[in-house]
Structure 1
Amino acid sequence: MQLKQDCVRYVLLSLEEQKFNMIIFGANDTDIATKLADDRFSTDDIRYTLFELFSGGFITAEITKFKNDYLLRVTSITWAGHELLDDIRDTEVWHKTKDVTSSFSSISVSILKNVATAVITGIIKQKTGLPL
């Protein structure tokens, strides 16, 4: 499966809203995917994104592996996850970041974060004149 950048942003923003009572009980990846799936992202897209966010250290979760599947019980967003989300949260920053990366067939999450950071820095320099 392909990790979709827009889905990463969507999932992190949704998890941050805490609609799943994650902190207290954890939230099952299938339940999260069912609630978040829409015309842009399927339940498989959401589940895959959750697994990859867990693998990358952006969310904390407990994983239970089965013969042909897995269950991920998500408990929180990590510090690194919040840093990534803060870099890509703003719609203007997100659109400019996507414009910069759109000419490439594939961009890692760490490169995406670096580009978003550079975009934010550029906007701050432009608006404030501060030498960042």
Structure 2
Amino acid sequence: MKLNTDSVRTLMLDLENRLPWDESVTNIWNKQTGFVTYASYKELGHDEFIYTLSKLIDGEYISGKLCPANNTIGDVYIYSITWKGHEFLDNIRDPKVWAKTKSITNKFASVSVSFISTVASQVIAKLIEDTMHLQ
């Protein structure tokens, strides 16, 4: 399965809005209050949501774990967004920055999530520079 950067952004923004500040364990597998209530789950679908979540854990953008059970996922625990995850969010949150970043990175067959974050930070720097020259 391919990691979709739009899915990464969608899920990270959703987690940022949903996770408690105190890093208490959040089991998002709960059918009543868990992932099925997330807007990103509804938008991405089950497989894309779980795959993206697992890759965000692997990449250390979020702190959590997926617990296997009977050849499927038993529980999904999310603790927090990591410092690296917050840096990524701060770089890609603005829709204008995200659109410009995608227009640059879509010219290439493959770019990593960390590289996208780097490009987004350069887009932000350029926007700030342009704004400073206007004043």
TM-score range, shorter chain: 0.7 to 0.9
Q: TM-score, normalised by structure 2?
A: 0.83
Instruction: Select the residue among 69, 80, 94 that pairs with 1:76.
Output: 80
What amino acid is aligned across from residue 112 of structure 1 in structure 2? I
The amino acid across from 2:125 in the alignment is: T
Name the aligned partner's letter for residue 41 of structure 1. Answer: L
Compute the TM-score of the two structures, normalised by the length of structure 1. Answer: 0.85
- State the aligned residue count: 127
Structure 2 equivalent of residue 127 of structure 1: 131
Distance in 2 (alpha carbons) for counterparts of 1:104 and 1:33:
34
Shift in Å at residue 33 of structure 1? 5.2
1:52 aligns with 2:60: no
Alpha-carbon deviation of 1:107?
1.3
Secondary structure of 1:113 counterpart: helix
**Separation in structure 2 between the aligned mates of residue 29 and residue 49 of structure 1, nearest angstrom:** 15
Given candidates 94, 99, 113, the residue that maps to 1:95 is 99
The SS at the match of 1:37 is: helix
Percent identity at matched positions? 35
> Could you tell me which amino acid in structure 2 is paired with residue 4 of structure 1?
N
CA RMSD of aligned residues (A): 2.0
Name the structure 2 match of 1:3: 3
Q: Please name the residue that 2:15 is paired with.
A: 15
Change (3 A) 1:47 1:15: same
- 2:62 aligned with 1:63: no
8 Å contact from structure 1 (residues 29, 74) kept in 2: no
Q: Which amino acid aligns with 2:51?
A: Y
Unaligned 5+ residue runs, structure 1?
A: none
